[in-house]
Structure 1
Amino acid sequence: MDLLYENTWKAPSPYNPKLKLKDIYIYDTTLRDGEQTPGVCFTKEQKLEIARALDELGVSQIEAGFPIVSKREAEIVKAIASENLNADILALSRIRKEDINKAIDCDVDGIITFIATSPLHIKCKFKGKRLEDFFDTIVECIEYAKSHGLFVAFSAEDGTRTPLEDLIRVHKLAEEAGADRVHVADTAGTATPQAMEFICKALTCSLNKAHVGVHCHNDFGLAVINSIYGLIGGAKAVSTTVNGIGERAGNTSLEELIMSLIVLYDVDLKLNLEVLPKLCRMVEEYSGIKNPKNKPIVGELVFSHESGIHVDAVIENPLTYEPFLPEKIGLKRNIILGKHSGKRAVKYKLKLLGVEVEDKLLDKIVERVKELREKGEKIDDEKLLEIVEEIKRIKD
Structure 2
Amino acid sequence: MENRKVYMNYHNNLLSLEEHIYELVDVVQPNVFRNLFPYDEIPKIAFNDRIVPHNMPESIWITDTTFRDGQQSRAPYTTEQIVTIFDYLHRLGGPNGIIRASEFFLYSKKDRDAVYKCMERGYEFPEVTSWIRASKQDFELVKDLGIKETGILVSCSDYHIFYKMKMTRSQAMEHYLSIVRECLETGVAPRCHLEDITRSDIHGFVIPFCFELMKLGIEYGIPVKIRACDTMGYGVNFAGAVIPRSVQGIIYCLLTHAGVPSEQLEWHGHNDFYKAVTNSTTAWLYGASGVNCSLFGIGERTGNTPLEAMVFEYAQLRGSLDGMDTTVITELAEYFKKEIGYKIPHRTPFVGKNFNVTRAGIHADGLLKNEEIYNIFDTEKFLNRPVLVSVSNTSGLAGIAHWMNTYYKLKGESMLDKTNPLVNKIKLLVDKEYEEGRITVMTDAELIEMINTYKSEYNVDLPNINVTLD
Whether TM exceeds 0.5 here: the answer is: yes
Read off the aligned partner of 2:357 and give its amino acid letter. Answer: S
Q: Does structure 2 conserve the Cα–Cα contact (< 8 Å) formed by 1:240 and 1:252?
A: yes
Per the TM alignment, residue 21 of structure 1 is displaced from its structure 2 partner at its CA by 5.2
Read off the aligned partner of 2:160 and give its amino acid letter. Answer: H
Per the TM alignment, residue 227 of structure 1 is displaced from its structure 2 partner at its CA by 0.7
Q: Which moved more, 1:246-255 or 1:276-285?
A: 276-285
Distance 1:248 1:350 in 2: 39
Per the TM alignment, residue 389 of structure 1 is displaced from its structure 2 partner at its CA by 11
Read off the aligned partner of 2:319 and give its amino acid letter. Answer: D
Partner of 1:51: 86
Distance 1:150 1:317 in 2: 55
2:447 to 357, 370, 380: 380
1:162-173 map, 5 Å: 162-165=200-203, 166-173=205-212
In 2 relative to 1, CA 355–288 (structure 1 residues): closer, same or farther, beyond 3 Å?
closer
Partner of 1:60: 100
Partner of 2:308: 255
Per the TM alignment, residue 184 of structure 1 is displaced from its structure 2 partner at its CA by 1.0
Unmatched segments (≥5 aa) in structure 1: 1-17, 392-396
Partner of 1:161: 199
Partner of 1:394: none
Distance 1:94 1:174 in 2: 18
Q: Does structure 2 conserve the Cα–Cα contact (< 8 Å) formed by 1:341 and 1:370?
A: no
Distance 1:385 1:114 in 2: 56
Partner of 1:22: 58
Read off the aligned partner of 2:395 and give its amino acid letter. Answer: S
Whether 2:254 is the aligned partner of 1:203: answer yes
Whether 2:120 is the aligned partner of 1:82: answer yes
SS, match of residue 214 in structure 2? helix
2:144 to 98, 101, 105: 105
Partner of 2:108: 70
Partner of 1:7: none
Distance 2:354 2:317 in 1: 21
SS, match of residue 60 in structure 1? strand
Q: Does structure 2 conserve the Cα–Cα contact (< 8 Å) formed by 1:216 and 1:251?
A: yes
Q: Does structure 2 conserve the Cα–Cα contact (< 8 Å) formed by 1:263 and 1:324?
A: no
Deviations 1:56-83 (A, max 9, x none): 2111101122x1x334433333332333
**TM-score with structure 2 setting the length:** 0.70
Read off the aligned partner of 1:306 and give its amino acid letter. Answer: R
Partner of 2:220: none
Per the TM alignment, residue 350 of structure 1 is displaced from its structure 2 partner at its CA by 6.7
Distance 1:364 1:46 in 2: 44
In 2 relative to 1, CA 222–375 (structure 1 residues): closer, same or farther, beyond 3 Å?
closer
Q: Which moved more, 1:93-102 or 1:242-251?
A: 93-102
Partner of 2:153: 114
Q: Compare the two structures and name the one with the higher helix fraction.
A: 1
Distance 1:237 1:93 in 2: 20
**TM-score with structure 1 setting the length:** 0.82
Task: Between the two structures, name the one with larger relative contact order (CA 8 Å, sep ≥ 6).
Answer: 1
Distance 1:310 1:325 in 2: 17
Partner of 1:315: 368
Per the TM alignment, residue 100 of structure 1 is displaced from its structure 2 partner at its CA by 1.6
Q: Does structure 2 conserve the Cα–Cα contact (< 8 Å) formed by 1:95 and 1:115?
A: no
Partner of 2:344: 291
Q: Does structure 2 conserve the Cα–Cα contact (< 8 Å) formed by 1:216 and 1:226?
A: yes
Distance 2:80 2:114 in 1: 9
In 2 relative to 1, CA 196–384 (structure 1 residues): closer, same or farther, beyond 3 Å?
same
Q: Which moved more, 1:28-37 or 1:308-317?
A: 308-317
Alignment coverage as a number of residue pairs: 370
Distance 1:388 1:281 in 2: 27
Deviations 1:217-245 (A, max 9, x none): 11122111111111122111011000100
What is the alpha-carbon root mean square deviation over aligned residues?
3.2
Partner of 1:272: 325
Deviations 1:112-143 (A, max 9, x none): 1121111011122211x122213344334334
Partner of 1:152: 190
Read off the aligned partner of 1:118 and give its amino acid letter. Answer: S
Partner of 2:289: 236
Q: Which moved more, 1:296-305 or 1:147-156?
A: 147-156
Identity %: 24
